[in-house]
Amino acid sequence: MRHFFNYLNLGNLTLFSGYELFPVIFTNKRERILSFYSIEEVRRIIFAIDRGTPYGKRDFVVLLLAAELGMRSRDIIRLKMSVIHWVHDTIEFVQYKTKIFNQLPLLENIKYALMII
């Protein structure tokens, strides 16, 4: 897009160049953008879910699995009830990305959220 508008500007078809519309932004490649939320932000997101609907109940469980256990979305999508061991209070599955077996605790709040689905 930048080159296209530069071309139009050179031909006096526009009053502005591509660099004016789409400036080049220089960043330090070694700087990291923080990719986490505060505990309060996570709480607000979780409690904003309407648990009165079937979709809200599902979304509540999905967010709990991600926030409390750190599960990846691919692993949450592939979960089956058969990997939840109620007697031992564990969730056991092979992680999609790493192919490593995981055994996570079935926390009380997640257990109750799963029961109401």
Domains of the chain (ranges; CATH) run 1-35 (no CATH), 39-115 (1.10.443.10)
- Predicted confidence at residue 23, as pLDDT, reads 82
Is the pTM here over 0.75, yes or no?
A: no
| Assigned token pair, 50 | 């309407």
pLDDT tens readout for residues 80-110 = 999 999 999 999 999 999 999 999 999 999 9
CA distance 96 to 76: 10
For residue 109, count other CB atoms closer than 10 A to its CB. Answer: 13
Residues of the chain with pLDDT under 50: none
Residue 113: name the closest of 91, 88, 95 by CA: 91
